[in-house]
Amino acid sequence: MDSSERAFKELRPYFTDLSHEEFFVMYLNRANELIRVKQLSIGGVSGTYVDPKIIFKYGIDMDASAVILAHNHPSGNRKPSESDKKITKQIKQFGELIEMPVLDHLIITDNGYFSFSDQELL
């Protein structure tokens, strides 16, 4: 995964036409090649919860070297909420601690995406 656009193209099918929020993680090897995409939560219309410990437990089990986070906004609004920013910061700090960096967090809608990395919010 060498760009947010490439990650978006890989993840988009998981989020097509959803009326509720879901959270997925892309697990990558040392060459930033995809190991697996894993769904971690299904939420409601206005939110979903993800536990950072679970993200990295799966990453350790898969021998992942990095992760890309992704969730959708069924409303079509690509702008991250304060809650999105807060959880991204927490997950990023956890990843740094265990040397499994968060390379990006994408907010996906039916009409595009927002990349925390591209907007220098990581």
Q: What is the DSSP string of 60-105?
A: HHTT-SEEEEEEE-TTS--SPPHHHHHHHHHHHHHHHHTT--EEEE
The pLDDT value given to residue 64: 98
Question: Residue 17: pLDDT band by 50, 70, 90 thresholds?
Answer: confident
pLDDT in tens, 45-76: 878 889 999 999 999 999 999 999 999 999 88
CATH number of 4-115: 3.40.140.10
- The average pLDDT across 17-44 equals 95
Q: In the numeric block, which tokens belong to residue 90? A: 């927490």
Element (H, E) at 9: helix 4-15
pLDDT in tens, 79-108: 999 999 999 999 999 999 999 999 999 999
- The average pLDDT across 20-41 equals 97
Q: Are the C-beta atoms of 110 and 75 separated by less than 8 Å?
A: no
Using DSSP, state whether 49 is helix, strand or coil: coil
Question: Residue 44: pLDDT band by 50, 70, 90 thresholds?
Answer: confident
